[in-house]
């Protein structure tokens, strides 16, 4: 079933299409955009027959199997139901948006966001892996942020988008925590496994935490009380977005989540209390507030909140029939609410206002649209023959059949009827206040019917309202059964989708709701007056002030801890590091281990004393910079001698040549920096720093000693054993570099190249004061390039290059190699710069160091890629022995090509740094070249 993998990804591909085709006409763009979602819908529908027969489809691609991550999709009844809603309504919205957006809106961008959202949403409903589900969940938040802020020049759009993202994003984080905990409890992130281990989850001690966290995610997304405030503010989005995201799909994601995890999490007292009471509160609050909205979209937004509450309440009741009713209402609500939003959008589009105080008597101007809106509105109110009636009837039935509140259970049907009354009242207001009730007041435009095709989506949806309302089992019977069977994990109770169940209690409740709603609406003036007594608070302002106070606290805290002093940060970091290391060190019983020490000899003592003295001298004279540099180089020299002494000839050679370039570099830098450091540390600070330094040094020395006196269980025997036979070289260090760990070396020379290029960019355009004399005011020597130095260095160049070639060639078998040879070559070239100046060298050595770095890395990479030609892993080496007359037997190894890459990179990088830094002192400054 690999085609399943394509289902969500076809829309992802589809996000590109509107961006590419936005230059074509709007119609063409809309049409092409619709192709891939339509294809996806077709693919989904091709599975329906099998799913109705009880099949489920799974497809997965392993990703990181070790930690249970895989790209896993499933298509069962619930996913099918939501996929059809997402894709079907999505297609209608694409058509609708084509007419809704004005010419100045970028339709390509809009469609791209919309399809991105569609992709995310499909991903949520089709996921069979917890983490993957969460990923798509957050993607819906982000894409909805982009859609809400589509008109980003409006402040309310930005604020609304930010609020939606904050609330749903925070909920998403809670969900992530919940899902991780869930996966941890079950031992698998596979959704199917989780759904099958419901009893185990409910019995585990983590269940309450998991439930609360998962529900936080669902409630924030589905705008449940008290997180409902973001949804009305998201109405700043273009109306197609509201119709799609905030009625039919995104807000349903929370409902979907609860339905999806129904077998795993539901059916406990805690579930009932949390879900059903939240749902009930949301249902009532939303219905009540909706009546008082003057904005058409505001009314619909609160009505959406109310209906979401209804679905949540149903899911919370815990009975199987209630879950069926909830799913049925998901379908019905999506159909009528999408059509209502579209109708509201048409009214806004064609009359220029959404304020119901201005909109009156539109029946005369747009009778056709009015009829459609009235039918949808009647469905929202729950009038018989409409789909809304059926699910509302099921809802009333279920409120009567639950007994979880004990003796207070009678309250649920009463409150449900109360909510029903307000639903009827606000639906009535939508019909009467907009299409009748006198004449329009101060409308910016004269209202008229919309373009023909803008109405088509509404017509389709309204037709569905009626069809589902009249022939429920024919239209959605199978789909609902499949979805319910997926939600309930198999056992679907018997229910009947009929319009007429005889005269019974639910019908009575419906009649009470109808009559009550009409009475409430007729007396709305009193209610409006009553409501006007309350101080109005704008959730946007409250939210913004909360966010800003959090920001303020954060900046106060930052000001407290971060004062911008690097010295303080370094001090604290080191202090923490040393404290962290001291604790385990104190647990170590003896400093010295069992390994016998090497006996001390006089030469080593002398070297060590010299090392310590020059180290101390560097510190003591650190304010006299040139002097401290000289003592520093003594330290470096002795370090390289130490390497030589302790059997590391490669290191000694490297250290020695690096020492030369480092000192040249620092002297060049010193030319542009102050020659002396002012005395500015307070005595207290000096003591503080000295103590910390001594502390760090003592710790490091102790660890070093403890380490060295303990026996070593090394992994290096592998390298020494295989160096000759596997890598073809006797110098194990070099073979490790170019062969065993060649990939590391490749990374390292890349870093080297990047650092050099970064330095080059820093040097360019640098404007520095160039001192005309030394720190005592003496002018620089007239004779910049003494003839003696010039002659000697010139004759040394071929010798040095020869040495470097020798070191390079023998590297595989004896101390040497690309790194060292590269450094020696660099030193040889630098010497020419020093002796002759930039001008002289420029005319003679024509090397582009940047190209050298690039070709070095390229050669190294290609030599690694070459092994692919022989079906070997990256960087596998090859070697063989040949013999030629005169030269004798010699070895050729592909590792030498790699080493050549290393060599070129090292030369290029070193020279790019030093030559350009040196050029700063001359008229060849890169700064001037760039400006000329």
Of these, 54, 674, 786, 798, which contacts another protein (CB under 8 A)? Answer: 674
Binding to another protein (CB under 8 A) within 754-793 occurs at 755-756, 758-759, 762-763, 766-768
| H runs (alpha helix) in 104-233 | 107-126, 130-148, 155-186, 191-196, 198-203, 207-221, 230-233
- Residues whose CB is less than 8 angstroms from the CB of residue 227 and which lie 6 or more positions away in sequence, other chains included: 167, 171, 219, 220
Least separation, in Å, of the C-beta of 924 and another protein? Answer: 17
Rounded to whole angstroms, the Cα distance separating 278 from 871 reads 62
Neighbours of 414 (CB within 10 A): 12
Least separation, in Å, of the C-beta of 545 and another protein? Answer: 35
Dihedral of CA atoms 899, 902, 903, 904 in degrees, nearest 10, equals 120
Per DSSP, the three-state class of 891 is strand
Counting contacts by CB under 8 A, is residue 701 touching another protein?
yes
Q: Is 238 left (phi over 0), alpha (psi -120 to 50) or beta?
A: beta
Query: Which CB atom, from 461 or from 611, has the smaller least distance to another protein?
Result: 611
Query: Which CB atom, from 415 or from 814, has the smaller least distance to another protein?
Result: 814
- Residues whose CB is less than 8 angstroms from the CB of residue 29 and which lie 6 or more positions away in sequence, other chains included: 18, 21, 22, 107, 108, 111
Per DSSP, the three-state class of 561 is helix
Of these, 161, 275, 895, 909, which contacts another protein (CB under 8 A)? Answer: 909
Query: Which CB atom, from 794 or from 861, has the smaller least distance to another protein?
Result: 861
Of these, 693, 791, 792, 845, which contacts another protein (CB under 8 A)? Answer: 693
Counting contacts by CB under 8 A, is residue 702 touching another protein?
yes
Least separation, in Å, of the C-beta of 914 and another protein? Answer: 8
Neighbours of 52 (CB within 10 A): 16
Of these, 120, 651, 827, 907, which contacts another protein (CB under 8 A)? Answer: 651
Counting contacts by CB under 8 A, is residue 544 touching another protein?
no
Query: Which CB atom, from 608 or from 791, has the smaller least distance to another protein?
Result: 608
**Could you tell me the two tokens for 713?**
């269980």
What mask of x and - would describe binding to another protein in positions 716 to 755, judged by CB under 8 A? Answer: x--xx--xx-----xxxx--xx---x--xx--x--xx--x
Of the candidate spans 63-71, 394-402, 702-710, 887-895, the one that interacts with another protein by CB under 8 A turns out to be 702-710
Q: Are 164 and 102 in contact (CB under 8 A)?
A: no
Query: Which CB atom, from 526 or from 595, has the smaller least distance to another protein?
Result: 595
Query: Which CB atom, from 553 or from 595, has the smaller least distance to another protein?
Result: 595
Rounded to whole angstroms, the Cα distance separating 642 from 677 reads 31
Q: 851 φ, ψ to 5°?
A: -65, -35
Counting contacts by CB under 8 A, is residue 32 touching another protein?
no
Q: Are 251 and 221 in contact (CB under 8 A)?
A: yes
Binding to another protein (CB under 8 A) within 486-525 occurs at none
Least separation, in Å, of the C-beta of 587 and another protein? Answer: 19
Of these, 559, 690, 851, 862, which contacts another protein (CB under 8 A)? Answer: 690
Least separation, in Å, of the C-beta of 883 and another protein? Answer: 20
Least separation, in Å, of the C-beta of 745 and another protein? Answer: 6
Query: Which CB atom, from 566 or from 788, has the smaller least distance to another protein?
Result: 566
Query: Which CB atom, from 66 or from 715, has the smaller least distance to another protein?
Result: 715
Q: 884 φ, ψ to 5°?
A: -125, 150
Of these, 66, 269, 438, 680, which contacts another protein (CB under 8 A)? Answer: 680
Look-up of token digits 């569905």: 464
Least separation, in Å, of the C-beta of 126 and another protein? Answer: 46
Q: Are 323 and 259 in contact (CB under 8 A)?
A: yes
Binding to another protein (CB under 8 A) within 789-828 occurs at 813-815, 819, 823
Query: Which CB atom, from 303 or from 916, has the smaller least distance to another protein?
Result: 916
Binding to another protein (CB under 8 A) within 590-649 occurs at 595, 597-600, 604-605, 608, 611-612, 615-616, 618-619, 622, 625, 628-629, 632, 635-636, 639, 642-643, 645-649
Q: 646 φ, ψ to 5°?
A: -95, 45
310, with CB counted inside 10 A (0-12, 13-18, 19+), is: buried
Binding to another protein (CB under 8 A) within 454-483 occurs at none
Peptide bond into 226 cis (omega under 30): yes
Query: Which CB atom, from 505 or from 718, has the smaller least distance to another protein?
Result: 718
Query: Which CB atom, from 42 or from 718, has the smaller least distance to another protein?
Result: 718
Beta strands in 365-468 (DSSP E): none
Around 736, how many Cα atoms within 13 Å sit in the side-chain half-sphere?
Answer: 12
């Amino acid at each position: 079933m690999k085609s399943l993998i394509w289902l969500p990804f076809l829309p992802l591909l589809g996000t590109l299409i509107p961006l590419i085709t936005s230059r074509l006409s709007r119609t063409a763009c809309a049409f092409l955009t619709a192709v891939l979602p339509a294809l996806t819908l077709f693919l989904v529908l091709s599975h329906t027959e099998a799913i109705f027969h009880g099949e489920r489809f799974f497809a997965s691609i392993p990703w990181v199997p070790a930690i249970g991550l895989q790209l896993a999709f499933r298509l069962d009844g619930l996913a099918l139901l939501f996929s059809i809603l997402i894709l079907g309504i999505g297609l209608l919205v694409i058509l609708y948006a084509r007419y809704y957006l004005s010419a100045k809106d970028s339709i390509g961008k809009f469609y791209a966001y919309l399809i991105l959202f569609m992709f995310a949403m499909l991903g949520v409903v089709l996921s069979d892996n917890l983490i993957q589900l969460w990923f798509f969940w957050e993607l819906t938040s982000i894409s909805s942020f982009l859609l809400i802020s589509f008109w980003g020049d409006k402040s309310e759009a930005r604020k609304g988008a930010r609020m939606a993202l904050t609330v749903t994003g925070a909920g998403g984080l809670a969900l992530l925590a919940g899902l991780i905990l869930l996966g941890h409890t079950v031992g698998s992130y596979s959704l199917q496994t989780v759904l099958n281990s419901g009893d185990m989850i409910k019995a585990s001690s983590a269940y309450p935490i998991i439930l609360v966290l998962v529900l936080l995610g669902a409630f924030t997304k589905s705008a449940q009380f008290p997180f409902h405030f973001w949804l009305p503010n998201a109405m700043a989005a273009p109306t197609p977005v509201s119709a799609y995201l905030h009625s039919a799909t995104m807000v349903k994601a929370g409902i979907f989540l609860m339905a999806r995890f129904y077998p795993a999490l539901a059916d406990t007292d805690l579930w009932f209390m949390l879900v059903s009471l939240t749902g009930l509160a949301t249902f009532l609050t939303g219905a009540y507030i909706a009546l008082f909205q003057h904005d058409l979209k505001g009314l619909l937004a609160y009505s959406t909140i109310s209906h979401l509450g209804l679905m949540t309440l149903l899911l919370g009741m815990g009975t199987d029939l209630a879950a069926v009713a909830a799913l049925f209402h998901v379908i019905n609500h999506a159909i009528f609410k999408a059509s209502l939003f579209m109708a509201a959008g048409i009214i806004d589009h064609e009359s220029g206002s959404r304020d119901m105080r201005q909109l009156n008597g539109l029946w005369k101007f747009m009778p056709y649209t009015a009829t459609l809106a009235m039918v949808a509105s009647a469905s929202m109110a729950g009038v018989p023959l409409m789909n809304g009636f059926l699910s509302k009837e099921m809802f009333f039935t279920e409120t009567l059949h639950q007994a979880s509140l004990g003796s207070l259970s009678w309250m649920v049907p009463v409150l449900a009827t109360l909510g029903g009354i307000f639903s009827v009242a606000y639906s009535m207001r939508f019909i009467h206040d907009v299409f009748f009730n006198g004449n329009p007041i101060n409308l910016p435009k004269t209202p008229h019917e919309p373009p023909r095709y803008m109405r088509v989506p509404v017509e389709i949806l309204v037709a569905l309202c009626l069809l589902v309302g009249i022939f429920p089992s024919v239209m959605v019977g199978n789909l609902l059964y499949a979805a319910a069977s997926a939600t309930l994990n198999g056992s679907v109770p018997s229910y009947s989708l009929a319009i007429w169940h005889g005269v019974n209690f639910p019908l009575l409740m419906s009649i009470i709701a109808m009559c009550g709603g009409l009475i409430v609406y007729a007396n709305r003036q009193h209610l409006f007056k009553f409501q006007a007594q309350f101080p109005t608070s704008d959730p946007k302002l409250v939210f913004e002030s909360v966010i800003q106070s959090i920001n303020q606290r954060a900046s106060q805290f930052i000001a407290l801890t971060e004062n911008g002093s690097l010295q303080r940060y370094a001090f604290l970091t080191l202090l923490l590091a040393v404290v962290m290391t001291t604790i385990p060190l104190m647990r170590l019983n003896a400093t010295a281990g069992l390994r016998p020490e090497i006996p001390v000899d006089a030469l080593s003592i002398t070297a060590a004393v010299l090392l310590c003295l020059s180290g101390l001298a560097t510190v003591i004279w650190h304010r006299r910079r040139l002097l401290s540099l000289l003592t520093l180089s003594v330290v470096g020299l002795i370090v390289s001698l130490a390497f030589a002494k302790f059997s590391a000839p490669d290191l000694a050679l490297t250290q020695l040549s690096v020492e030369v370039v480092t000192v040249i570099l620092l002297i060049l830098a010193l030319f542009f920096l102050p020659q002396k450091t002012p005395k500015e540390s307070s005595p207290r600070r000096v003591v503080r720093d000295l103590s910390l330094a001594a502390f760090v040094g003592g710790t490091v020395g102790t660890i070093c000693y403890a380490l060295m006196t303990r026996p070593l269980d090394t992994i290096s025997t592998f390298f020494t054993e295989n160096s000759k036979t596997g890598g073809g070289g006797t110098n194990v260090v070099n073979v490790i570099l170019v062969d065993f760990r060649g990939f590391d070396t490749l990374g390292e020379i890349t870093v080297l190249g990047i650092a050099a290029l970064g330095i080059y960019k820093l040097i360019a355009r640098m404007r520095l004061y160039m001192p005309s004399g030394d720190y005592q005011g003496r002018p620089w020597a007239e004779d910049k390039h003494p003839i003696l130095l010039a002659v000697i260095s010139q004759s040394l160049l071929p010798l040095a290059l020869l040495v470097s070639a020798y070191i390079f060639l023998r590297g595989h078998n004896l101390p040497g190699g690309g790194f060292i040879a590269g450094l020696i070559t660099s030193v040889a070239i630098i010497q020419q710069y020093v002796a002759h100046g930039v001008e002289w060298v420029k005319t003679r050595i024509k090397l582009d160091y940047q190209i050298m770095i690039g070709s070095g890395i390229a050669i190294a990479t290609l030599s690694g890629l070459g092994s692919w030609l022989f079906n070997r892993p990256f960087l596998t080496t090859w070697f063989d022995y040949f013999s030629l007359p005169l030269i004798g037997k010699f070895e050729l190894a592909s590792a030498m090509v790699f080493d050549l890459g290393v060599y070129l990179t090292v030369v290029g990088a070193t020279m790019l740094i030093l030559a350009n830094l040196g050029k700063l002192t001359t008229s060849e400054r890169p700064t001037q070249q760039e400006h000329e």
